[in-house]
Structure 1
Amino acid sequence: MKSLFETTEISGMELKNRFICSAIWEGLADDEGHVTQELIHHYHKLAEGGVGTIITGFSNVMDFDKPTHNMNGIYNDSFIQEYEELIEKVHGHRVNIIMQIVHGGTKWGPSAVKHKATGTVPKEMTTDEINAVTQAFGEAALRVKNAGFDGVQIHAAHGFLLSMFLNPYYNVRTDEYGGSIDNRARIVYETYKSVRDAVGPDFPVFIKVNCKDFMDEGLTFEDSLHVCKKLADMGINMIEVSGGSYSSRDGEGPMRNTENNESYFMDYASKIAEEVDVSVALVGGNRRIEKMTEILNTTQIDYFSMARPFIHEPGLINKWMEHDLDSSECVSCHACNGISGGCVFK
């Protein structure tokens, strides 16, 4: 029987347990995305809490397109040295730290289609601009490696730029970057290749994807599975399966129908895990250790990501290791993703 607390390995990186702190927007960097002592303290506290691997909040690869304020930056070489103290403190607890990198897609987009949630209309990107973005991802990934992070995660979910290209509602292009799923995913494949070429064959490269967009005319599960299989064939090391975005928050979605509102995307992630020969992490509504143990031993899902529970209980994994197996106290109210960014329990 597999255990949530056993040691595993991905591309030479040892993971001391199967729990991952999924990317959380902290809002603790300065206005330009530079590291602050508050940001260092945040990650040190998470590492002390027992989680095996931390994926940072998203970090922008181009300075002119920031999807939110006070997000981490990795868009030039000035960031490389300043992450040293943060990484050292995390590594002091035998915890891996992966940087998530993103292009927001607020000013540039696949097509000039009004965003359902924000009302903004991005500029339709030229081929040269698409090439600039994929190059920026590669350059950012090399900075991540040179800074001392244990790996990098490409953010291709939740309605940001790469996710918008995958979504046929927002991508109505008629060139090689629109139409069929492989055309819509072309920028994702090229981004992965740019990242892999930059960091080399052995550095862990993860990706976060939507299993589907849960909106009319959005990315379907069948298309998502196709992209995941192609990325696995290309050499991606882990696929973290999520779903939806701000555009779909009030629409359809498994969060409305899953028993106890937990492990929302399990059915989709398990099907992906059956079809790919790489590690798969499930994120979204993971709250009970009994449920995660069941999923681990009845599906091919390897890892379990949580975000909101760690905002409320950074020491959750230590609590579970000490045999206090109560479910996370997080009630998934989503207040931590609001303007204040704070947990209602604090």
Structure 2
Amino acid sequence: MTASNLLTRPLTLPNGGTLPNRLAKSALSETLGTMDNRVTPQLVRLYERWAEGGTGLLITGNIMVDRRYLGEPGNVVVEDERDLALLQAWAHGVSRRGAVLWAQINHPGKQSPRGLNRENISPSAIPFKQDMQAFFATPREMTEAEINEVIGRFASTAGVLKKAGFGGVQIHGAHGYLVSQFLSPRHNVREDGWGGTAENRRRFVLEVYAAMRAEVGPDFPIGIKLNSADFQRGGFTEEESLAVIQALAAAGIDLIEVSGGTYEAPAMAGVKASTREREAYFLEFAEKVRQTVNVPLMVTGGFRSQAAMQSALASGSLDLVGLGRPLAIEPDAPQRLLAGEETRYRVKPITTGIGMVDRMALMEVAWYTRQLHRMGRGKSPKPDESPLWSLAATVVANLRGAQKTRRLRAS
């Protein structure tokens, strides 16, 4: 550790909370919940492993607010205090190792595999693009009452997680899930107070934040993961994203994580070659954000080398370096980065050779999820695991998981 290593510096949030260093694990969907969507010891074990690895802030993946609407089999759902003891173990297992644990709170909206839920809901009944309609059903448009119910669910989930000892929460407003759907003029074509204009489309996220803040109070950190853009024609733009960020900053948000893309348009589809070389895919957008607000910023996507992380922090364009996939194959990587060293493994594309599968980027998600499952079982990741083997195992597991989930709901 050296004085010039910016990664080692603590970060104080607007509400006074402190993060021990500038490395954060961005949310990765673990799917390690039970088939009836409860917390498991495997989740506790996985996050203890990451906390031991040196990451300052750990953000969970996809804690859902409603058992009727899942993003994947094995999602954890927090609607009440039935899992309070395991939630407390999860939070304590991280905090006693010196890291801070935040829960990412989410609702999938229409972005849920066909057959998993009895139906999917969204701001508007807009289908997925044609080549994905075999995998994702057309949703039903939400009623006003349902919109207000979901807002309340975000708040009550945040309250339970605060009681369990989590260090903060993050609204998932990116990657095509429900909050992102409300923000996008492509997916939200409502003509009432929840759509029709950019101001109305961002009303949902602002009311979610306000309800959560009222539930947890002023001293509990609330952040958001937000797309810089959707990379889709007629979708959420950088200009709209900046307006949302300004509104959230004015409302008192504690941390903004910048990301991008959806299942229909993965982030890499919108990334230029020059940006890949720079490593941080969304750094240029973060620079624009920094010119308009002073809220702490986390940028996730593309960071791989010590030099790129140090340069980004030195520029003042961001405050936290977000890592996802590197930590799925090397959970101890932060210890090396904090010591001024390079990581042992480098992330590389995971492809099957099956064009439709590879274009949707779902294979990469599945491959990395399998590495999380290995750590949840107390094993080490396998950076060289076969993509085709991983695809076959994932398809079988998802089919079994969907069937079990439907049987449990029918009983």
Q: Name the TM tier (shorter chain).
A: over 0.9
Matched, 1:113 2:133: no
Output one character per residue of 1:125-165: Cα deviation in whole Å (capped at 9) or x when no partner: 11111100101101111011011000000001000001001
Measure the CA separation in 1 of the matches of 2:32 and 2:272.
29
Counterpart residue identity of residue 149, structure 2:
A
**For 1:79-158, what aligned pairs fall within 5 Å after superposition?**
79-106=83-110, 107-116=120-129, 117=132, 118-158=135-175
Aligned counterpart, 2:12: 9
Measure the CA separation in 2 of the matches of 1:139 and 1:129.
15
Distance 1:112 1:199, change over 3 A: same
Distance 1:245 1:340, change over 3 A: same
Measure the CA separation in 1 of the matches of 2:296 and 2:345.
24
Q: CA deviation at 1:326?
A: 4.6
- Would you say the 8 A contact 2:57–2:102 is kept in 1? yes
Q: CA deviation at 1:36?
A: 1.5
- Would you say the 8 A contact 1:285–1:332 is kept in 2? no
Q: Which has the larger radius of gyration?
A: 2
Q: CA deviation at 1:339?
A: 6.4
Aligned counterpart, 2:409: none
Aligned counterpart, 2:247: 230
- Would you say the 8 A contact 1:22–1:55 is kept in 2? yes
Q: Secondary structure at the match of 2:327?
A: helix
Could you list the runs of 5+ residues in structure 2 that have no partner in the other structure?
111-119, 351-360, 372-382, 386-411
Q: CA deviation at 1:190?
A: 0.5
Q: Percent identity?
A: 34
Q: Secondary structure at the match of 2:370?
A: coil
Q: CA deviation at 1:42?
A: 0.6
Matched, 1:192 2:209: yes
**For 1:254-333, what aligned pairs fall within 5 Å after superposition?**
254=271, 257-260=274-277, 262-326=279-343, 329-333=346-350
Distance 1:126 1:211, change over 3 A: same
Aligned counterpart, 1:25: 29
1:345 pairs with one of 376, 379, 384: 384
Output one character per residue of 1:92-141: Cα deviation in whole Å (capped at 9) or x when no partner: 21100000000110311010100234442111011111100101101111
Distance 1:251 1:93, change over 3 A: closer
Q: CA deviation at 1:47?
A: 0.4
- Would you say the 8 A contact 1:20–1:52 is kept in 2? yes
Counterpart residue identity of residue 134, structure 1:
I
Counterpart residue identity of residue 105, structure 1:
G
Measure the CA separation in 1 of the matches of 2:36 and 2:261.
28
Matched, 1:170 2:187: yes
Q: Secondary structure at the match of 1:285?
A: coil
1:73 pairs with one of 70, 77, 80: 77
Counterpart residue identity of residue 139, structure 2:
P
Q: Which moved more, 1:207-216 or 1:6-15?
A: 6-15
Aligned counterpart, 2:378: none
What count of residue pairs does the alignment treat as equivalent?
Answer: 346
Whose helix proportion is higher, 1 or 2? 2
Q: Secondary structure at the match of 1:248?
A: coil
1:46 pairs with one of 44, 50, 55: 50
Q: Secondary structure at the match of 1:275?
A: coil
Q: Secondary structure at the match of 2:128?
A: coil
Distance 1:172 1:286, change over 3 A: same
Output one character per residue of 1:209-255: Cα deviation in whole Å (capped at 9) or x when no partner: 00000011110000000000000000000000000011112984016
- Would you say the 8 A contact 1:6–1:18 is kept in 2? yes
- Would you say the 8 A contact 1:208–1:240 is kept in 2? yes
Measure the CA separation in 2 of the matches of 1:336 and 1:32.
25
Could you list the runs of 5+ residues in structure 1 that have no partner in the other structure?
none
Q: Structure 1 stretches (4+) deviating beyond 3 angstroms?
A: 332-336
Matched, 1:160 2:164: no
Measure the CA separation in 1 of the matches of 2:69 and 2:286.
30
Q: Secondary structure at the match of 2:369?
A: coil
Distance 1:90 1:228, change over 3 A: same
Q: Secondary structure at the match of 1:258?
A: helix
Q: CA deviation at 1:307?
A: 0.6
- Would you say the 8 A contact 2:63–2:78 is kept in 1? yes
Output one character per residue of 1:263-290: Cα deviation in whole Å (capped at 9) or x when no partner: 1111012211221121010001111121
Measure the CA separation in 2 of the matches of 1:84 and 1:250.
34
Distance 1:142 1:183, change over 3 A: same
